[in-house]
A and B are shown apart, each in its own frame.
Chain A
Amino acid sequence: MSKRTIVWLKVVVHGVCLLPFAYLVGMNHTGELASKADPVNYITHFTGDWTLWLLLGCLAITPVRRLHSSLSWLIRLRRMVGLYAFFYATLHLLTYVLLFSGYDVPTAFAGVQAGHLAEPWRQFKLVWPRMLDDVEKRRFIQVGLLAWVILLALAATSPQRVLRAMGGKNWQRLHWLIYVAGIAGVVHYWWLVKTGVRAPMRVTIVLAVLLLARVGYVGVKKARSRE
């Protein structure tokens, strides 16, 4: 595949990955988002869902690439998809911190406008204990935060020069944590929903297929090497 084609492909992937975000911004712009019964709930699920799907998209690249040698170019898109998963995960976390926690964004904003630059911090201190309480007590928050921290570490070490500085082996070891992040993300979803809700089933099935594909691949490879 030519360099030119790859550039074009990357542009397309950027566009596709930004589409959900653009949709959210657009809904905010028209006022549709604000007029929803429970906008925060919508934004939380929206950003959470897209984090999971992009994370699964990232995990799908290797198994799909292995299907045929002509698909090897897919690997060149993997980092980008992974970074977008981190982008949506960060939006998801910010939704929790700024909207779900009870943080008073309008007051913080008005404070800054009036020249009280400490107002956002003052507001943050008011809701901080609630967040700490969540992190201490609630396992779905803990496992979700774990997934985000992993994605943060992977995003921070994603540039080529960091890879070179770390050495390929170390880098790969660290980046295997993407599996942990994927599993943690899905567990986070299951632990959040009420008993009986099966909404996380789809992502769970996709994750299971992707993980099994890897196990199967390694198994076949081992069997072949023994022959």
Chain B
Amino acid sequence: MLIRKGNGIASSEITPKGAYEAFQMDRRRFLGRVGAVGGAAAMAGMFPGTAGAETKLTTVASPYTVNETMTPEAKAKSYNNFYEFGTSKDEPARNAHTLRVRPWSVKVEGLVAKPQILDVDTIMAFKPIEQRVYRFRCVEAWSMVIPWDGYPLAEFIKAMNPLPAAKYVQFISCDDSKQMPLIGESGINPPYSEGLRMDEAMHPLALLTFGSYGETLANQQGAPIRVIVPWKYGFKSAKSIVRIRFVAKQPDTTWNMLNSEEYGFYSNVNPSVDHPRWSQAHERRLDSTNSIFPKTIATLPFNGYANEVAGLYAGMDLRKNY
């Protein structure tokens, strides 16, 4: 296993006492209390004029970090799948500047103690931002290694007090055609929807993500708030989230609805289950090696996170539940 586990308790492990109340507090008072750790994160939101431009984040190191050659920032931010800004991989970087990432609010709804609308800066300041270097495996058989900045999605979910009936959590992305002029040509039915089973969403590896490379997310990466689920193919990690909905039944998810044979609801990285149009046994690692000859490596089950997450799927036939 390539994950280095630290000895110390990560600050994110500390149970948020009265976390739920924290969200109800006056935002300014709350930010004041978060102080040093969350301060820089909150700064990003204090200057609405900088919308679209990345700002520095203060992050703490995380034990959930892989020791592999990182993908250069320029590559990670210029090669994106974000169909709302064009279907070719260089388009989002060119077109996503029209997305207005501040002010930004996220509606929390469904089977939850108290449905509410939260400002992204409030969500961001809720927990210390950790930097975690994760493998990122696209369903198209290429992969990157990216330092993501965020905190466990589980912390946020706990604070939202979902009802016991909530078995799944659904993420719905922005679908504003004014900010996303190409959304109608994307071929997907907006809004983009993704979802996780509750136990998957509560897994410590699932990251509620606000930044990468120590800065707030670039628009083409799904600013200002997205999830990163590193053991699943990239499309499962919804971008530019505007609604988080707790539901009892498996939600309809965009790619699964478009083509269920090619994109299962689970879509865990699995080298032994081919995509109908290509093998998933190998991947092109896009890192700092600048060569026209690709670095082709074997794809690992659960993208190398099997020790951590395989237990979530005990007893399930992963060939059927792809």
Chain A interface residues (CB < 8 Å from chain B): 28, 31, 33-35, 37-41, 43, 99-100, 102, 104-106, 130, 133-134, 137-138, 140, 191-192, 194-199
Contact = CB atoms under 8 A, between A and B. Distances in A.
Contacts of B258: 195-196
Contact of B290 (A35, A43, A104): A35
A100 B188 CA distance: 28
B292 A99 contact: yes
Given A38-B284, A102-B282, A195 B292 contact: no
A134 B187 contact: no
B35 to A, nearest CB: 38
A135 B282 CA distance: 17
B279 A196 contact: no
A106 B290 CA distance: 13
20 contacts: A33-B292, A34-B292, A37-B89, A39-B294, A40-B294, A43-B292, A99-B292, A104-B293, A130-B279, A130-B281, A134-B279, A191-B277, A192-B277, A194-B262, A196-B187, A197-B87, A198-B87, A198-B185, A198-B187, A199-B88
Contacts of B83: 196
Contacts of A106: 291, 293
Given A31-B290, A38-B89, A99-B292, 4 more contacts: A34-B290, A38-B79, A192-B277, A195-B255
Nearest to A106: B293
A40 B187 contact: no
A71 to B, nearest CB: 35
B78 to A, nearest CB: 6
Contacts of B69: none
Contacts of B68: none
B75 interface: yes
Q: Is the interface of B mostly helix, strand, loop or mixed?
A: loop
B142 interface: yes
A22 to B, nearest CB: 16
A99 B294 contact: yes
Contact of A138 (B186, B277, B281, B291): B277
B78 A28 contact: no
B252 interface: no
A37 B76 CA distance: 8
B186 A37 contact: no
B258 to A, nearest CB: 5
- The 6 tightest CB contacts between A and B, nearest first, are A196-B187, A37-B79, A102-B296, A37-B75, A34-B290, A195-B259
B274 interface: yes
A40 B284 contact: yes
Contacts of B278: 134, 138
Interface in B261-307: 262, 274, 276-279, 281-282, 284, 286, 290-294, 296
